[in-house]
Amino acid sequence: MALLEVENLKIYYFTREGAVKAVDDVSFSVDRDETLGLIGESGCGKTTAVFAIMRFVAPPGRIVGGKIIFDGNDIITMSNEEIRLLRGKGIAMVFQAAQNALNPVMTVGKQITEVILEHERITKEESWERAKRQLELVGIGSERVKNYPHEFSGGMKQRVMIAIATACNPRLLILDEPVTGLDVIVQRQLLTLINKLRKELRLPIIFITHDLSVIAETCGKVAVMYAGKIVEQASTVSLYENPVHPYSQALIRAYPSIKGEKRGLKSIPGAPPRLINPPIGCRFHPRCPYAVNICREEEPIFRKKNGHLVACHSIK
Amino acid sequence: MKKDAVLRVENLKKYFPVRKSLFEFMSSKKEEYVRAVDDVSFSVQEGEVLGFVGESGCGKTTMGRTILRLIEPTSGRVYYEGIEVTSLDRKRVKSLRRKMQMIFQDPHGSLNPRRTVADILSQTVKIHGLANGKTEEDELIKNTLEEVELKPTEEFWDRYPILLSGGQRQRVGIGRVLILQPKLVVADEPISMLDVSVRIGILELLLRLRDKFGISFIYITHDLSTARYVCDRIAIMYLGKIIEIAPTEDIINKPLHPYTQALVSAVPVPDPTVKMHELPIKGYVPLIPAEVFSSCRFYPRCLHTRKKCREEEPPLIEVGHDHYVACIKAK
């Protein structure tokens, strides 16, 4: 059994206008030596899906169905105390725009020791030693342990966030858009760090991003999400070389690259649907160039093609 | 400098004073400045898309705004079709703004949420007195909406921005600029807040407007891969200065300045078979770049320094066809 198994997960937000199906019947798994990339446009439900793994979904949102099995236990049915112990220790998460998530009036060292003291029975002195080691681990000198967040640049703050997230040796790390909004050089330095940590700590990672090239540099396996659903899952290399689902194909064709010949790019017509009232049948059909009648009527199920799991009617 | 340039910028500078504490004020500490734009010169030809690429804080946005006099420059001159913009009084600047416009980064923040699409455009029409009477105004708005591909126009006419997607909002922003028939548009990160699937559509629209109306663009971005897609030439900025400027493919394929080389190799590639290598750069961008440079400003981060780099700031010199670099190594 894989480390994390998400099965038929459904998360709806109950608003006055009706239920927004943010995550609708999503399944994926992460094994002990895997890096899974979740990719999709904003509003496709990728952040909501991983929020459920940490049980962060709050009203008006609700997990209405499915299972999240982490190391044999179902997260959805855990007690609040069990969840508290799990967060930070079992699964840790670095949030989107994490640079702004640091407490501005607390030294970074204090913020690292907080997590450690919460989960482990060690003395304060030991926890400060650990905090220093954590800073060294992410490439910041231990002498900066008494610095405040404003003394760090954006990329350095993100490093501190990673130091906090890995402080208690979690068994799964979730990174939600960790490099978005950072400059390319800083971005590259962070990706190198993430790859190094993954190898050194043998840490499975779920990597959420809207950026195809970031996935290409970090993840072994990818799940493409569209309008609350996963439409294709495959190994990264195979997905980039032979995308099967029309949405994956379109996404890759819309992405400019700096390497090689300058090639023509194609935008995807239209915009993602509103999830309060998603299209009937395949959710991508209004934007799909290959849509036929069945796509407008029936939801496609997952089928295997070239080792990819794809939800598209075009596969027989 | 060529004669037929739409825009010519000469030695443009914008310094912002660094706020002093009371103590520093009393002890009459010397005034310090952040040199956001530090002696920048270039020109833009008719129908050209000139890209400005650099990391955040390199001064590219300040430069764009200073050109339009949304920010007053500290010194230097800006010429629009031979007219010196920098010495005009406010009234004349306003009439010139018809010809020089700006597209903003955030399509959510730059549209008034209480006005419908037609209202937003009609406001521009009224301020600049573009139409005689309501029918002419409606006609103008309708044509503009069609031009930015918000079709059928009736469907968008009475919509509020909240009911539009990010891409559609940005199209309204472009329409608001287009309705004035500008000659020069400063586009400040116009697609960085949009989804990948709609980005290319916006870039295609900009290129189509360029071809159809001969509009010149200054395209400001931190993203070299999209800059490659739209720009004819790219200028790389570092700490307020242009350190390299060349035709797009030259910047991408044979960058000469060590900073450009680092920047180009740092851009992530959407290809999992390409391996990441070590970046040819060290250190970080200073948090408050208030330093006065007597050396090359890239010196502290450069891996190829020589003694001379520490002694003087290298000027921007031509090293190839239309290819200018500020590095002594590139000669």
Instruction: Give the DSSP H or E segment for B10.
Output: strand B5-17
Report the residue of chain B nearest A218, measured CA to CA. Answer: B272
Q: How far is CA B225 from CA A257, B265, B270, B313, in A?
A: 5, 11, 10, 29
Is there a contact between A42 and B195 if contact means CB atoms under 8 Å apart?
yes
Nearest to A188 among B204, B224, B276 (CB): B276
In angstroms, the separation between the Cα of residue B226 and the nearest Cα of chain A is: 6
What is the Cα–Cα distance from A252 to A245, expressed in whole angstroms?
11
Q: Classify domain A1-32+40-90+222-255+266-316 at the CATH topology level.
A: Rossmann fold (3.40.50)
Q: Do B270 and A267 touch (CB under 8 A)?
A: no
Distance of CA B285 to the CA centre of its chain: 20
Contact B120, B207 (CB under 8 A): no
Asked if the Cβ–Cβ distance from A41 to B197 is below 8 Å, we say: yes
Q: pLDDT digit of tens for each residue in chain A (316 aa)?
A: 889 999 999 999 999 888 899 999 999 999 988 999 999 988 888 899 999 999 998 888 999 999 999 999 999 999 999 999 999 889 999 988 767 889 999 999 999 999 999 898 999 999 999 999 999 999 888 899 999 998 888 888 999 999 999 999 999 999 998 888 788 888 888 899 999 988 888 899 999 998 888 888 889 999 999 999 999 999 999 999 999 999 999 988 888 888 777 777 888 888 788 888 889 999 999 999 999 999 999 999 999 988 999 999 988 7
Indicate yes or no: CB of A237 within 8 angstroms of CB of B273: yes
Question: Rounded to the nearest 5°, which phi and psi values hold at B100?
Answer: -120, 115
CB contact at 8 A, A211 and B268? yes
Site from B164, B195, B230, B276 to mutate, A interface, most A CB atoms within 10 angstroms: B195
**Which domains, and CATH codes, for chain B?**
5-99+215-330 (3.40.50.300)
Residues forming a β-bridge with B80: B7, B83
Identify whether B152 is preceded by a cis peptide bond (ω within 30 of 0): yes
Distance from CA of B273 to the nearest CA of A (A): 7
Structure tokens at B284: 């970080």
- Left, alpha or beta for A221 (phi > 0: left; psi -120 to 50: alpha)? beta
